[in-house]
Structure formats: C-alpha cells, structure tokens
Amino acid sequence: MPRLLPCRRRPAGFSLRLKVLGCYGGQLLGFRLTSFLVNNSILLDAGSPTEALSLEAQHDIRHICLSHTHLDHIKDIAFLADNRSLKRMGGSIQNRTICIHSLAENNRVLRDHFFNEAIWPDFTRIPTMDDPILKLVDMEAEKPFVIDGITITAIRVNHPVPCTGFLVDDGTSQLIYSADTGNTDRLWEIANAQPNLKAVILDCSFPNAYQRLADISGHMTPQGMMQDLQKFTLLGKVPVYLYHMKPETLNIMTAEVEVLDVPHLRMLTQVDELLI
Ligand SMILES: [Zn+2]
Ligand SMILES: [Zn+2]
C-alpha cells in the first residue's frame, strides 16, 4: 500500500516517489495545474513545475512525459526552458537538456504552435541545434522506453486531441496516470494486467451536473468515473487518486466522491507525495 506523506527524501523501502506539483484542471490562487514529479528528474506533464519547485529542484529535471498539448499540461515547459537557459549561460551544468517524450503528432504541435518564435523562442535550437535546452523525442503508444531507470509506457486514452496516459514502472512497483480522459477501455485492460500495480491517478474534472460537458470535453465526473472504474478489477484494493478537479467546483465534487464510499478512492491535493 502506498504511503502519502510530506517528505523531501525517499525513505528506505520505497523506490518510487511521486510528488504532486499541481493536480487541478484550472488555475486559481492556491490551485496549480497538472504536474507530477517522479524521483526528482521526471515530470508527468508540466502545468506547474516552475510554480511549485525551487530553481535548484527545477534544474534536476531531465525528462518530461507529456500526455497531450493542452495548455494546462504544457504551460511551464516554456518557463522551465527559460530558467534552464539562464542557468546554462551562467556556466556549465550537469543536466543540460530536457527531453520531452510525447506522441509524434504532439511534438509537431509543440514545434509548430508553441516553440515557434512567435509564442515562445524555439528552445529546441537554443543555444545550438546540437546541444539544445529542449529535445523533442517521439514515443509510440504501448512501446515502453526507459528513462533514469524508470520504464514508461504510453497508453492512448479518450480526449479530443491525441492523448496518452502513462504506466510508470521502476521494476518492483507500478503506477498508472490516466492523464485527461473520458470513459476509456485500454487503460483498464493494461492496469488489470500489471502484477505490482500500487496506485492509479485518474481524471475527475467536473461535478455530476456537468456530465454533458465532461462527455464532449473528454473528462470524467464522479458518476462517470464510477462507471469506468467497474472495468478495474483491483478497485477497492489498489488506491485510486483523483486529479484535474475544477477548483471552483471542488466542494461539490468532494461531497459527490464521498457518497460513492469506495475504499482507497480519494482526491489528490497539491502537497501530496506518493511513496511506493
Ligand atoms: Zn486536456
Ligand atoms: Zn488538462
């Protein structure tokens, strides 16, 4: 069973540490956008790392696993890159490049519409093409790759733009992050097949009254999520942590999730750390 506690160092007995930097589907004072830090050097999405991490901790980041290109998941890549470039101009540093791992179609969107010199400088060519701040690395769904000792597998989910969740595996424990998704099948098939699954982080964005909005925007409500969770054979045994709640409806959603009365089902907060 994972432990949730505030802690800077990884205690003995836990090999995978996931720190929540932001877990909300909207940005308001005190509510940060989606981003999770795995073992200090890997980000799952980048909605808020420059708001949540010290400059020193930002410079430890070497990889970003990017689920999709919606702004709430890519926003802080811009500012991470900017901070990294100042650090590099100040002298040589160990972690020179941040690799962004995403579907080829997503990397194309980043190149054409984000790091295009109009919205933000092209940090895939700064300071040089041979040694850039950002490197876009195409990944394929369900083709595992290893970064910093962690095996990552992207899993396609149900969202209006190409989007993948991620299976994170350190060799002894596994964790699944759904990313933004409406009802989905493949994620659960893969979750059910894992021998050491310790936690699932799952989209739950809107209150039940907004089911139609959730359906057309590729998200879940507590009742929609509950229907989807019927496909998860480990429900009630493996913890399910909810993220992407809209901050302004958080109180309503909290009540709606409590009524479900499912063991080990709860909303994340942005100060949580998951140690597994
Ligand atoms: Zn999205
Ligand atoms: Zn989102």
CA of 127 to the centre of ligand 2 (A): 30
Give the confidence band of 269 by pLDDT, cuts at 50, 70, 90: very high
C-alpha of residue 57 to centroid of ligand 1, in Å: 26
Taking phi first (over 0 means left), then psi (-120 to 50 degrees means alpha), and beta for anything else, what does residue 53 get? beta
Using the mean position of ligand 2's atoms as its centre, give its distance from the Cα of residue 1 in Å: 27
Q: How far is the CA of 245 from the centre of ligand 2 (A)?
A: 9
Q: Could you give the CA distance from residue 166 to residue 156 in angstroms, rounded to a whole number?
A: 9
**What's the rounded Cα separation, in Å, for the pair 159 and 157?**
6
Starting from the CA of residue 68, give the closest ligand.
1
Q: What pLDDT does residue 52 have?
A: 98
Number of domains in the chain: 1
Is the pLDDT reported for residue 1 higher than 70?
A: no
Report the separation in Å between the CA atom of 117 and the middle of ligand 2, taken as the mean of its atom positions.
24
Using a CB cutoff of 8 Å and minimum separation of 24, what contacts does 125-129 make?
126/81, 126/85, 127/85, 127/88, 127/89
Ligand with the closest atom to the CA of 163: 1
| CATH number, domain containing residue 174 | 3.60.15.10
DSSP state of 123: T
The beta strands (E) that lie in 26-71 are given as 35-38, 42-44, 63-65
Asked, for residue 3, whether it belongs to a domain, the answer is: no
The pLDDT of residue 91: 79
pLDDT at 88: 85
Report if residue 1 sits inside a domain. Answer: no
Do the domain assignments include residue 240? yes
138 domain-assigned: yes
Q: Is the pLDDT of residue 5 over 60?
A: no
Tens of pLDDT, residue by residue over 26-80, are 999 999 999 999 999 999 999 999 999 999 999 999 999 999 999 999 999 999 9
pLDDT for 76 equals 98
Report CA(98)–ligand 1 centroid distance (Å): 22
Report residue 90's pLDDT band, with 50, 70 and 90 as the boundaries: confident
Whether residue 195 is contained in a domain is answered as yes
The first and second tokens of residue 71, run together, are 């702004």
Q: Is residue 100 part of a domain?
A: yes
As a whole number, mean pLDDT of residues 232-252 equals 98
Q: Looking at residue 94, what is its pLDDT? A: 79
pLDDT category, 229, cuts 50, 70, 90?
very high
User: Which ligand is located closest to the Cα atom of residue 205?
Assistant: 2
CA of 111 to the centre of ligand 1 (A): 18
Report the first-to-last Cα separation within the chain, whole angstroms: 7
Per-residue pLDDT band at 15 (split at 50, 70, 90) = confident
pLDDT digits (tens, 9 = 90+) for 167-214: 999 999 999 999 999 999 999 999 999 999 999 999 999 999 999 999
Dist CA 59 CA 206 (whole Å): 34
Which ligand sits closest to the CA of 218? 1
Task: Give the Å distance between the CA of 201 and the centre of ligand 1.
Answer: 15
Q: Say how many Å lie between the CA of residue 188 and the centre of ligand 1.
A: 19
Confidence (pLDDT) at 2: 66
Ligand located closest to 69 CA: 1
pLDDT score of 6 more than 60: no
Ligand with an atom nearest the CA of residue 244? 2
Domain assignment present for residue 2? The answer is no
- Cα(25) to ligand 2 centroid in Å equals 5
**Portion of the chain with pLDDT greater than 90, in percent:** 90
Q: What is the pLDDT of residue 7?
A: 42
Is residue 82 one of the residues assigned to a domain?
yes
Centre of ligand 2 from the C-alpha of residue 93, in Å: 32
Question: What domain range is 73 assigned to?
Answer: 13-275
Please report, rounded to a whole number, the percentage of residues in the chain having pLDDT higher than 70. Answer: 95
